[in-house]
Amino acid sequence: MFKPVLLSLAVSAVPLVAKESYELSAPVAEGLDDPIELTVLPNGDLFVIEREGRVLRVCPTTGGTFEIAKFDVSALRSNDPDSPVAREEGLLGITLDPKFAANGRLYIYYSDPVKTINRLSRFVYRDGKIDRTSEKMLLEIPVERDRKVCHQGGSLAFGPDGLLYLSTGDNTNPFESNGYAPIDNRPDRVQFDAQRSSGNTNDLRGKVLRIRPTEDGYEIPAGNLFPKGTAKTRPEIYVMGCRNPYRISLDPKVGTLYWGEVGPDAGDNGPRGPRGYDEVNQARKAGNYGWPFVIANNLPYPIVDFTTGQPGGMTDPAAPKNPGARNTGLPVLPPANSAFIWYPYADSPEFPVMGKGSRNAMAGPVFYYNASRKWNILGKEDDHTLLTYDWARGRIWKAKLGEGEKLVSLTPFADKLVHPIDMEQAADGTIWVLEYGTNWWFNKDGRVRRLRPGTDNRAPELAAEAVAGQPGTFTVKNTSDADGDTVFVHWFLTTGAGEKDLGTEATVKVAEGSGTELRAVAADGKGGVTIKRFPLVKQDAQPALALELEGKPKSLGFGETVKFQVKAPSAPDAKTVSVRARYIPPTGHDAGGPEFAPGIQELVTSRLCLACHQVDQASVGPKYVDVALRYRDRADAVNYLKDRVLKGSTGDWGEVPMPAQAISEAEADKIVKAILHLGDGISATKGTLSGELKLPAAPANAAPGGAWEITAEATGYLTTRARVNAK
């Protein structure tokens, strides 16, 4: 129990807020780098893996985050973001042994940094660290990494029977089949052919595997798709025909497997097959789920000749055939199973509650009501309900299961999540939500939040700060609680893979070099917690650019040209260099960067536009500022961009298709006009270390006393800024 710090506590009566059916906490861990998967320890702590190789322990009660291992993995890096290699590799999956409390064992799936394989290994956690010398390799799966192959899957989970499940993706480039089935048989197109992986009974990719770990490796359990010894098959396969089964879940009572299947991008049905769908799948027994020959509710693809582009015979879902030139397995596959839930970019006739827009399906925990448990996120009426969610849409749905585990109802449950990438239920009923971060890669804002039943209780407020003039000294200035609860404050210091309890005094002093983060944790004794963090160690910084303006001008006018040179100790790749001038009015509004007006910001947030785009940061889609600069001089820019927003587009800015957005024409008109206005007062040039930059014409808000912000940025370098008065 926290002891009270003797401070001024606010106890005035405040009207209670309306009770919600659920409550998402403030982050218990934040600042995570592309977090991928989490697992819950018996003591309530969490293990979290990050894409580029770190394994972290999160202590929710103290807010501490501790590095317990760092794996060297093959992964896309920020210094080469356009690399065609290792697009979706890295540290991919983690789960605990069912007897972890006794044996300390855990399982990790990762991309080897040298060999072109993904590896499943067992490790031992001891003395607060993962013992890397304890590694016991169970499986190595050969993969292709070049030519922008994607889809590694990687989710790990144990079933109630002690069997270990591993999802694997089709390891295929999806960008050159027009959003339809990638079944390219041409000799030089290995990476564009999912027949060799998902549709191959003799390959472990594009599957969900099921094994029983043993001391020396693993055994094949009864009931997998192909009995051990069956020619041209792998006995580890439980489910085949997967594209990218990214997040799996096992029913804790009956062992049924659920997974989210990230689907292809075709926006419409066509001669080459049905439009793309994401799926939530259910497997009560081993089976084939169709990809790349069948999708959704057993909609078949034709076998396309990629040399001529002509579609051939249609797949029979009851007896699909794999005619692939690289198929090393059976020519006739098991019957295809329909998806459990399926939905396209557009409105779903079968499941309209899923909405429309970007999509990345995930499967969460199966909920069973337990009256003796501390927390039940749903009521007794929702006993036996799958929580399914979508990374792109930031929402959770309740899939109520009935007799025979059939879907009875599908209803919205929670929203306003930021790219949820994993959800796990703790023993006390808490649902832990791992949020990946704002962008598609290189996030620094991943976080962990707690999902519990809604209450009227509000978290306390905490004001704490470093004491000026007293290095290493920190103090709690004030606490308050809107519900009148007594607030308890405790200090913790992160020291390597552990932490030190600094007690409950109002002021603490920390010696230089004694830790990496100090935390003040305020709690109200009713579950409300607020954490104030003080980093004590500067993070390694990227090298900085230098920007030189010829003549060192003291002022510049609209329409003038300025010569520049970008320098650095080691010259950056000129192709990644961008130099930009932006006018800032004398009011200083927008000095922090281009931004939407509040009403537009709310609209793009609610319509999920930020799943793929940011105003002025790189994501999987283009920056909105770059869109404005490219199209603002087109006479038909508004109508052209509205059409792209409403219908989707492919190939304009990169290989990832931008789906049709779930907005009305009037909303699209507002958003497009707001995007184009982001370019007001901005000009830019790219791809050179030296040259000329012509400043833009005067925007509508130009006035005496304004200034120019001139920036230079390049991949792998800190952005540099120069400020020059505007004439």
Q: Does the CA dihedral 557-558-562-568 come out positive or negative?
A: positive
Question: Distance between CA atoms of 274 and 266, rounded to whole angstroms?
Answer: 8
Q: What is the pLDDT of residues 523-578, one digit of tens each?
A: 999 889 999 999 998 766 678 889 999 999 999 999 999 999 999 888 888 888 99
* Residue 354, marked binder: no
Give the pLDDT of residue 663.
Answer: 78
In 3-state terms the chain splits into helix, strand, coil percentages (rounded to 5) of 10, 40, 55
Q: Mean pLDDT throughout 625-642?
A: 83
Contact (Cβ atoms closer than 8 angstroms) between residue 121 and residue 132: no
Q: Is 612 known as a binding-site position?
A: no
Please give the class, per CATH, of domain 546-726. Answer: mainly alpha
- What is the per-residue pLDDT across 279-325, written as a single tens digit (0 to 9) for each? 999 999 999 999 999 999 999 999 999 999 999 999 999 999 999 99
Residues near 46 by beta carbon (within 8 Å), at least 6 away in sequence: 29, 38, 39, 40, 57, 58, 60, 432, 448
* Average pLDDT for 489-500: 94
Given 2.20.130, 2.60.120, 3.40.50, 2.120.10, which CATH number is that of 143-453?
A: 2.120.10
Q: Is residue 601 over pLDDT 80?
A: no
Written as six digits, the tokens of 107 are 């399982």
Q: pLDDT tier at 721 (50, 70, 90 boundaries)?
A: confident
178-182, 540-544, 585-589, range with the lowest pLDDT? 585-589
Q: How far apart are CA 399 and CA 363, in angstroms?
A: 10
Domain 9-13+458-535: assigned CATH number: 2.60.40
Buried b (16+ CB within 10 A) or exposed e, 443-475: bebbbbbbbbbeeebbbbebebeeeeeeeeebb
Domain boundaries, the chain: 9-13+458-535, 143-453, 546-726
Q: Residue 658 annotated as binding?
A: yes
pTM (global) more than 0.95:
no
Range in 193-207, 336-350, 385-399, 557-571 the model is least confident about: 557-571
